[in-house]
Amino acid sequence: MADEDKDSKTEKPTEKKLRETIEKGNVPHSREATLFASMLATVIYVTFFLPERMGRMGEVLRDLFEKPDQWQLETGPDAISLFTRVGWEVGNMVLPAVALFFVFGIGASIFQNLPTPVLERIRPQFSRISPLSGFKRIFSATGLVEFGKSLAKIVLVSIVMFFVLRSQYFHAIDSMVSDPQTILVRLSTIVQRILIIVLLATIVVGIADLLWSRHHWFDQLKMTKQEVKDEHKQSQGDPIVKSRQRSIARDRARRRMMKQVPRATLVIANPTHFAVALRYVREENDAPVVVAKGQDLIALKIREIAEANNIPVFEDPPLARSMFAQVSVDSVIPSAFYKAVAELIHRVYAAQSNKKRVR
């Protein structure tokens, strides 16, 4: 069943799922990249900081073992003085290493993902302490890959150390009976060679693991076609519901438009397919305004309301079609229609004047 679910996840994760996953703290992370940063910090420390500090440490140890009479241990302050001297040198030798590991470790994490506060990661979860969940993580595909990488690194480091130490074997034997300061310098040289070779191998493993971790993370987030559809519905809304909402909005706009027809000055029709209702009051606008327009059944309804309110209806098919296509509701008509509409408005005003004279 799990394989079937995995096989059905063929779609790329959406931006919404990627964003939510990152917000929950689930981001691609390569342990090998962090290890490479640590190795690089170690090589820098061994190359630029360790030789000088080990030389100073060797001098302290030589004075301690060759001239023990200079260090009195008869009282407590004498012991504190000795430990302070040795501790200061040890701290002076270790402090740069701690600083380098701290800086390079944070840098490796920032390089992979920008730090963001995620409360979900610190929320107590039973799965994190469950033996069954731990067993599944260890023997999962990810766990086996991590085991393979660790085993490969151990084998690689062992082989490198064998070949490097084999060439340094007799030098190491000679240094055991030489000056203590020389022992530390030779030891640092051997360690430096080992670390440089391991660093080169770590670069290859780190790049490969960085690419694999991002590919595996993206592959784990793939979605089924149904999940994509469901998410689209959640973000964009159900198409059926949205269609219904649009229909309701159109009906409301149509009813509001129909309420404006009794305020029209005239209606231009074609005779049944198109109808455009215009209002022109000199004190309101400089040009006529379209208060309503419609096609087919709506056009007939506009004519019906106009006739019921004694609004003149003029049949001019070319003018009705052009105005219906080019002018929107509540907009002033373009200047191209001024002449034709002005003649109709003049006829309306003339008819109204005749009625007043008859009365």
Last residue of a domain, one of 199, 233, 267: 233
Q: Does 141 map to a domain?
A: yes
Rounded to whole angstroms, how far apart are CA atoms 278 and 227? 51
The answer to whether residues 189 and 77 belong to one domain is yes
Length, in residues, of the chain: 359
169 pLDDT higher than 50: yes
**Three-point CA angle 102, 104, 110, nearest 5°:** 105
The pLDDT assigned to 261 comes to 85
The answer to whether residues 204 and 280 belong to one domain is no
Place of tokens 């917000």: 23
Split at pLDDT 50, 70, 90, the class of 212 is confident
- For the chain, what is the largest distance between any 2 Cα atoms, rounded to a whole number of angstroms? 141
Q: Does 247 map to a domain?
A: no
Paired strand residues for 279: 289
User: pLDDT exceeding 70 applies to what percent of the chain?
Assistant: 75
Rounded to whole angstroms, how far apart are CA atoms 45 and 53? 10
1 pLDDT higher than 50: no
CATH number for the domain that contains residue 273: 3.40.1690.10
241 pLDDT higher than 70: no
Q: Are 180 and 61 in contact (CB under 8 A)?
A: yes
The answer to whether residues 273 and 218 belong to one domain is no
202 pLDDT higher than 70: yes
The answer to whether residues 161 and 301 belong to one domain is no
**pLDDT average, residue stretch 243-250:** 78
Q: Does 242 map to a domain?
A: no
The answer to whether residues 277 and 224 belong to one domain is no
166 versus 319: the higher-pLDDT residue is 319
3-state secondary structure 307-321: HHCCCCEEECHHHHH
The pLDDT assigned to 93 comes to 83
Top-confidence range, 187-191, 195-199, 283-287, 318-322: 318-322
Rounded to whole angstroms, how far apart are CA atoms 183 and 189? 10
The predicted-structure confidence for 42-95, as pLDDT tens digits, reads as follows 888 888 887 777 777 777 777 777 666 666 666 767 777 777 877 788 888 888
Q: Does 245 map to a domain?
A: no
The pLDDT assigned to 117 comes to 63
pTM beyond 0.75 = no
Q: What is the mean pLDDT of the chain?
A: 77
The answer to whether residues 136 and 278 belong to one domain is no
Rounded to whole angstroms, how far apart are CA atoms 326 and 139? 70
The predicted-structure confidence for 132-159, as pLDDT tens digits, reads as follows 665 666 666 666 777 777 777 777 767 7
131 pLDDT higher than 80: no
176 pLDDT higher than 50: yes
Last residue of a domain, one of 198, 233, 268: 233
Split at pLDDT 50, 70, 90, the class of 254 is confident
Nearest residue to 216 via CA among 20, 28, 37, 68: 28
Nearest residue to 317 via CA among 262, 254, 260, 275: 275
Q: Does 224 map to a domain?
A: yes
The pLDDT assigned to 173 comes to 63
Q: Does 240 map to a domain?
A: no
Split at pLDDT 50, 70, 90, the class of 130 is low
Chain center to CA of 89: 47
Question: What's the domain count of the chain?
Answer: 2
Cα Rg of the chain, angstroms:
43
319 versus 114: the higher-pLDDT residue is 319
Q: Are 18 and 221 in contact (CB under 8 A)?
A: yes
Rounded to whole angstroms, how far apart are CA atoms 86 and 100? 22
Residues spanned by the domain of 333: 257-358
Rounded to whole angstroms, how far apart are CA atoms 359 and 127? 94
The answer to whether residues 221 and 297 belong to one domain is no
Q: Are 137 and 129 in contact (CB under 8 A)?
A: no
Split at pLDDT 50, 70, 90, the class of 201 is confident
The predicted-structure confidence for 331-350, as pLDDT tens digits, reads as follows 888 888 888 888 888 888 88
The pLDDT assigned to 218 comes to 86
The answer to whether residues 111 and 146 belong to one domain is yes
Q: Does 250 map to a domain?
A: no
Top-confidence range, 125-134, 179-188, 195-204, 313-322: 313-322
Rounded to whole angstroms, how far apart are CA atoms 353 and 355? 5
124 pLDDT higher than 60: yes
Place of tokens 């080990």: 54
283 versus 305: the higher-pLDDT residue is 305
For residue 242, give Cα distances in angstroms to 8, 149, 225: 29, 52, 21
The pLDDT assigned to 316 comes to 86
The pLDDT assigned to 4 comes to 47
The pLDDT assigned to 183 comes to 65
The pLDDT assigned to 134 comes to 59
Q: Does 13 map to a domain?
A: yes
167 pLDDT higher than 70: no
